[in-house]
Structure 1
Amino acid sequence: MSKQNDPWEDVVGESLESRVRDLHAAPLTLDAVKGSARAIRRRRRAVAAGSVLAAAAVVLPVAVLGVGGLGDDAPDQPAASDPATPTDGGSTGADTRTRAYLQGTTLHRYDGSTVSLAERYDSVVDLGTGVLVTSRDEQGNLLLATLVDGEVESEERVLDVPVVNGSATAVVVDADRTLQVSGTVVSTPLSESEPAAPEQRRPVRLDRNDYVTALSPECQVDAATCPVYVQGAGGAAVVDAFNGERTPVPDAIEVVDVSRDGMAAVLTSYEGEQSCWAVRDAATGAEAWASCESSLFAFSPDGRHLSGTHPYQDGLGNAWLAIIDADTGRETARYTPPSGVVATSAWEDDEHLLAVTVSDDGWQLVRVGLDGEGEVLATDGASADAFPAPFVLEAAS
């Protein structure tokens, strides 16, 4: 006896098929595609929050790629250097970076070496002895793989891409929401290593709606505590990864980064097209400054500057990348790509940011100085809806 089709399955299937067909029939340009308004930056979650339907996961990058804040007034800024001629295979210039990144299936490591990988991944963390990467399976589940010499050594399901602070890496394992922390120079999770005080350390499981947003600089392999900042249903909190102690962060929706001298970049409010932020002492809560002029991304390694952009973010692209004085909150420079938007960015060192830009002409990897000037390091002619992106930065914002 033949099996009858479920009418609901037919409707869902026809809807998805129609969406995919329409996308292929009418390619979208950066000027035409507008993502949903998002006041809270959540690129990591955009990568992690995939649909259970593989087809939906495939069309997501096209549907959400947009141009953010193009109507904002911007001060005059130094022009970017002349870009390299784009090529489909990519062209690489000077490479003095200290941050790992992926260029297609090529891994560029901290030490300057490169490793050819068997496939492309959508996030990367260089541990030193190994490399963490994430990708999606056919069901849309996020998988975290540990690579050694470019080969997959282990793989498990996780709920978000790893978050790093330069000395430690945290990720939430999917099976039971266990918070797993590893050192960036070792491959063994702390939960599996011999702790200094066994009675004070136990597997820590996060709440159902928690996502890791930042690690305190205090979180070290040999430290007594490991403060991990999470965003949950009740706002921001800090959880000790060694004993599970949870403390709410007052008047904070999200803590996006903590500098090595203990200052925290905090989202305090958002409404419509406006978001407000503050820089506070992470230990005492004392506020250094607050502003509703810019969204905040990450502190430079020396803690003197912050990266950011306009307070209203639309889709997964930003019209410009701001460099902000961490002591005063004053914007000191701004990089605006000659075309397209800034997709992601990350601090390369104390004086440079790496930025991935995308336009209808393809993708570029750009080094941005504290003066706002950009140097194109590599180009790729992939379409704007490519996923994973041709360039993937470690600890990208």
Structure 2
Amino acid sequence: MNQTPLEDQVQDALHRRVDPIQHSPLTVTDVRQRARRIQRRRTVAAGAAVAAVLAIAVPVGLTLTGPAQRSEVPPATEPPTPRASGTVLVDPRSAEVVDSVDVPLLDVDGPSLITPDRTLDLPTVFDTLTPYLDGWVGVTMDEGTGTLQFLDADLAVEDSGGPTGGLVVSPDGQRIAWSEYTGSQWQVVLADPSGGAGWVYTKFPPAPQDHIVVPVGFVAEDEVVVRAYDDSTSTTTYTAGGDEPVEVPGLLQVDAASPATGVVAGLTESTPGRACSAVVDGLARTGTPAWETCDHRLGPFSPTGRYVVGTDPMADGNGSPRITLLDAATGEEVVDFEAVVPRRTVGGFWSQVAWEGDEALVVRMFVADDDYHIMRLGMDGSVQRIGIPSAGASGLKVAVPS
């Protein structure tokens, strides 16, 4: 089966995670001094230039690193999106082919930022990228090692940080958060990308660098949920947003969070042949599940918190044979998508996806011999295959999977 140029390019679009970091440390003093230097050097004219870029680079439904543009998240009481019933078959061979998708892409080989309307050259390959002040902040990866980078309005690297466990943005785009290693401990930084409020630091107890702290997502306006590794396999869930982290009980590993509803989702049981997940209150911190399931691995939530993604809890390296969209309040199945895979072959959906508002998912589908497709799955049951021609680019990925 022949692939379109985009499908050749997006081989790693929705399944890469930030790995443990091993660069030299960035101290609190360094960060503050660099932030002040950056702010002093930037001008009103540069801000106007970025405003023009953002009109193109931040499409409806997703920011560069998150699931919504900078506007208020619609309340959960809004009428639901029209949705399909039963099981929807996803066959890339017969799906409608479209030439655009409201998900910004990062060209790994370019490197560049590609939107439906414009391509912007980048100074290096980025794993994540989001607007910050009148410039940008992102994470670069090098063989599993990540570094925080501050860019100016022209997308030139203006300052470099140190080890980071990742970067996340709130659904409304009003807050961003990243983790960093100071040389003796991990800390999480919450920042206002407009510069209207100071940074907030949450410090973790002294620990080796490989006890990495990974931001997962915002659980409130000024609180982010993180996964802190105690060793190579064991994790603890915390919220960060004050001086010290606060533990969230009830999960073996947190996989997703929703600031719209204040809940988190993750694993509660993982044994050979069985894996169960639950949704718990990330702010009350009682550890009592709102609901549990052993039929799905949960996360991520849609921007309004109305839906949550479910995949096969026993999915292997070939992906999940199904993606099910669940009611996040009850766990009830809403729409079920099943991958159509030719007989005597393997394939499925990869577990990471990107939300386009509450209306659709952009997912990576794998079929047999390295045959990849990027699919858009609508809540209304629509199935589309993304086929954007991108001259000269051979390695695209979504700016950040949800």
- Aligned-residue sequence identity (percent) comes to 23
Deviation at 1:357, TM superposition (A): 3.0
> How far apart, in 2, do the equivalents of 1:175 and 1:181 lie?
12
Deviation at 1:206, TM superposition (A): 5.5
Deviation at 1:356, TM superposition (A): 2.7
Residues 84 and 378 in structure 1, CA contact (< 8 A), matched pair in contact too = no
Residues 213 and 255 in structure 1, CA contact (< 8 A), matched pair in contact too = no
Structure 2 counterpart of 1:378, one-letter code: G
Task: Spell out the pairing of 1:7-86 with structure 2 (5 A cutoff).
Answer: 45=17, 47-49=18-20, 76-80=87-91, 82-83=94-95
1:141 matches 2:141: no
> How far apart, in 1, do the equivalents of 2:395 and 2:376 lie?
17
> How far apart, in 1, do the equivalents of 2:150 and 2:251 lie?
33
Query: What residue number does 1:237 align with?
Result: 237
Task: Spell out the pairing of 1:151-230 with structure 2 (5 A cutoff).
Answer: 151-166=156-171, 167-176=174-183, 177-183=185-191, 185-186=193-194, 190-191=198-199, 204-205=203-204, 208=207, 209-220=211-222, 226-230=223-227
> How far apart, in 2, do the equivalents of 1:101 and 1:356 lie?
13
Deviation at 1:303, TM superposition (A): 1.1
Q: What's the TM-score, normalizing by structure 1?
A: 0.64
1:354 matches 2:346: no
Structure 1: 5+ residue runs without aligned partners? 1-41, 53-74, 86-91, 192-200, 221-225
Structure 2 counterpart of 1:232, one-letter code: Y
Structure 1 counterpart of 2:151, one-letter code: L
Task: Spell out the pairing of 1:285-304 with structure 2 (5 A cutoff).
Answer: 285=286, 286-304=288-306
> How far apart, in 2, do the equivalents of 1:243 and 1:291 lie?
34
Query: What residue number does 1:367 align with?
Result: 376
1:377 matches 2:382: no
The structure that is strand-richer by fraction is 2
Mean CA deviation greater in 115-124 or 153-162? 115-124
Structure 2: 5+ residue runs without aligned partners? 1-13, 24-85, 342-346
Query: What residue number does 1:277 align with?
Result: 277
Q: What's the TM-score, normalizing by structure 2?
A: 0.63
Give CA-to-partner distance per residue, 1:143-192, whole Å, 9 cap, x none: 2223333222222232422133323222222343443434463369943x
> How far apart, in 1, do the equivalents of 2:212 and 2:381 lie?
35
Structure 1 residues 143 and 336 mapped into 2: Cα distance closer, same or farther (>3 Å)? farther
> How far apart, in 2, do the equivalents of 1:183 and 1:116 lie?
26
Deviation at 1:389, TM superposition (A): 5.3
Residues 163 and 212 in structure 1, CA contact (< 8 A), matched pair in contact too = no
Query: What residue number does 2:261 align with?
Result: 261
> How far apart, in 2, do the equivalents of 1:114 and 1:187 lie?
26
Structure 1 residues 213 and 269 mapped into 2: Cα distance closer, same or farther (>3 Å)? farther
Deviation at 1:309, TM superposition (A): 0.6
> How far apart, in 2, do the equivalents of 1:248 and 1:235 lie?
11
> Across the two proteins, how many residue pairs are aligned to each other?
303
Residues 231 and 253 in structure 1, CA contact (< 8 A), matched pair in contact too = no
Residues 128 and 139 in structure 2, CA contact (< 8 A), matched pair in contact too = yes
